[in-house]
Amino acid sequence: MKPRSTYLAERLGSVALSPLGKFEAGSYETFTLTFTAGDYGTDESGSIKILMRLASDLGRPQFENPKESNYVTVETTADVNLVCRYDAYASTRPWTKTLHIIVSDGHLSPGDTVTIRFGDRRSGSPGWRLQTFCEEKFEFRTTIDAFSTHEWAVLPNSPTIEIVPGPVDSWKAVLPTMRRIDETFRLGLKAEDAMGNPTDQADHTLILVANAPIVGLPKTVTMNLGEKTLVIEDLSVTEPGNITIQVHDLDGTVLADSNPLRIEQEASLVAYWGDLHAQSNETVGTNTARQYFEFGRDCAFLDVCSHQANDFQIPQCFWDELNRITAELNDPGKFVTIPGYEWSGNPAVGGDRNVYFKRENRPIRRCSHVLVDDLSDVAFDAPTANELFASLIAAKEDVVCYAHCGGRPADIKFAHDGRIEHSVEVHSGHGSFEWILNDAFEMGYRVGVVCNSDGHRGRIGAYYPGASHFVTGGLACFFLPELTRDAVFASIRQRHHYGTTGARIFLHVTANFSSPATIFGDDPALGPATEQTANKAIMGDIVRFNHDNMELVVDVVGTAGLERVEIRNGLKVLETIRPYTIDDLGTRIRVIWQGAEHRGRRRHTSWDGNARFKGNKILRAQAVNFWNPYRNLDRCGEDGLAWQSFTPGSLAGFDAWLENATEGTLSLHTPHLECDIPVQDIGFEPKIYDCGGLDRKVTIQRMPDEAPSNELQLRRCIDLLKSGDNPLYVCVTQEDGHQAWSSPIYIFH
């Protein structure tokens, strides 16, 4: 978006920054920014605003404590007072983070300077914490209201720095999730810094150890300085099974375990991973749209990718550019791009929806033009979600939509059209939202489940929340006969997909029928649909079966030990299965908190608290889903823990391994629950405490000392309801906190 005022900007002042250059993401630095008043000076009550982007998770500037981090000082050569304040939402998006300096008791004359020291270390501050993610041009956008009119002009050549990755902290090994015998695939390797950024500072020779023979897999590979990723192509396996690869250092240290790869003898559909929802810096994200897609392809190893800019911030020129990029980078069989945008209507008129077109250069139907100056296409606006659906259908667009809960939660009870809105997004970087799927069940809709990142930090497909009230981004797994746009759209329309909180979990759910059932090609409740008879259905299918029961088959291979798998029929949990028995329990106590305050913005709920195991001793403890690197689980003596934690609908908590399995009392203190429980009363069946809010609760249980199995295969006879739908699906929860949700199989009589 262009600046609101450009009036004589080059004569209103100048700005300089020191030092310039490259700085490590998440590091503590000191910067001196100097504003020099221009030809007109600055009137009393005029002001300077230093703007940073909404997506940034940089340290919040403070003016009170010179020994603490993020301390900012402001000085001037003029005989005036300066009133300073900081507000994260004080200017127009995406430049919302605002350091506001107001001239008081006088004015600035031409040549007077105002010096701002971010992270002033002169009195002991460690500095200003930079954002945790990389950005090629992090801008200190400097604006001036020289005439006290409350019109701020952006000064030319606002200074920029480059934020770059730090040293290697961890490694990732990424395989596909499902392939056929002798079908070629790739292994993606990358090193990440402590903030989750792919880093080019690795200089390692790596040993690759597979659990079964892999044709073409070298014993060692080398990643050199300057390389962020390493891809090994043309691998294959000749026998069915579950394949994993361990990455070792030369001294034998295990650096990474890959996700599991299922090799099938024969399969009509195989699994491909996508993240279809995030933004770049042309709207509210980070780095350019081209860098965004290249990151998804080259650093996140995605198969499918889309860009979802807020529609009210997309001028036609950027819409044209997005379509050029998706057309250029779409590479069937290797990397599929999908053109689209986020319809970003207010909750009162339907809330956020993702819109995906099968082909480029389709008209964009915005909820509004609030940040788009060109009104030549305003007639195409769709102010409500119902109008969006109606206009897309009337125009006979080849399009699909998702319902999304971002800043603006989708209200599918207000607006939904199953002819184009086939899925709901139950997890993104904003949190987890099972309630939106439950809304669909209550309304009788037949929708699939997807997860995406909705990331704004330039890491599509590999989103970490950094120092924010977000969580790790999700992924969607599509079952496809081949990697093409046509196949992806068919998968979405038939709900042949599942979603995860970011882990590449293998999940396969099928229904077996004792006699032929009718499988519909589309929802027959919405109009004529093709039919076929079969004895088996997969996730997402809509099935008519006139018998009392059927068999559900669940096949899970996780990326960590499985805590539980829940079989659900719509709103009801039919069974909870754990891959261990009561005899496997050890001294490990698991405490998990979850939920949100409400559905809308600032939904995160605080769980800052502490626990003591009175009369016992903690041998070791480990956090679960503490994604924010600045919120920690800390030891407090031999028997205590303290933490800073939040959940925006997702889950978090801790494991504590005790000296004795039956002695003492757990004394738990959180803002939403305080309780004392004898340790001997904590067993196989979880204790669940309702804490109000939006599905806010605490769960306490005993776990095996070692990680449970990461595999679970089961068959269950399911009694079917005779009226209405039976939306049968599973929710998988790993012990590391990652989850997966299958799209339901909808069975009716």
**Residues 438 and 392 sit within 8 Å (Cβ to Cβ):** no
Own/partner contacts of 286-292, CB < 8 Å, gap of 24 or more, are 286/53, 286/55, 286/133, 286/135, 286/456, 286/457, 286/458, 287/134, 287/135, 287/136, 287/458, 289/318, 289/321, 289/322, 289/325, 290/325, 291/136, 291/458, 292/458, 292/460
Sheet containing strand 261-264, strands side by side = 178-180, 261-264, 241-243
Helix (H, G, I), strand (E, B) or coil at 39: coil
Query: What are 35's strand-pairing partners?
Result: 15, 114
Given a cut of 70, the residues of the chain with pLDDT beneath it are 1-5
**Residues 464 and 172 sit within 8 Å (Cβ to Cβ):** no
How is domain 271-502 classified at the CATH fold level?
A: TIM Barrel (3.20.20)
| pLDDT tens column, 84-123 | 999 999 999 999 999 999 999 999 999 999 999 999 999 9
The answer, yes or no, to whether the previous bond of 218 is cis (omega within 30 of 0) is no
Q: How far apart are CA 260 and CA 303, in angstroms?
A: 16
CATH of range 170-267; options 3.10.20.90, 2.60.40.10, 3.40.50.970, 3.40.50.720: 2.60.40.10
Helix (H, G, I), strand (E, B) or coil at 379: helix
Q: What are the DSSP E strand ranges found in 175-260?
A: 178-180, 185-192, 204-210, 220-223, 229-235, 241-243, 245-248, 254-257
- Would you say the CATH fold of 170-267 matches that of 9-164? yes
Helices (H) and strands (E) counted in the chain, each on its own, are 5, 57
**Alpha helix stretches (DSSP H) within 63-157:** none
For residue 407, what pLDDT is reported? 86
CATH H superfamily, domain 505-579+712-749: Immunoglobulins (2.60.40.10)
The residues spanned by each domain of the chain are 9-164, 170-267, 271-502, 505-579+712-749, 581-703
Q: How far apart are CA 205 and CA 252, in angstroms?
A: 11
Residue 321's contacts (CB-CB under 8 Å, 6 or more residues apart) are: 282, 289
For residue 5, what pLDDT is reported? 66
Q: How far apart are CA 487 and CA 174, in angstroms?
A: 23
Region 9-164: CATH code: 2.60.40.1510
For residue 8, what pLDDT is reported? 85
For residue 7, what pLDDT is reported? 74
> Residues in the chain, how many?
749
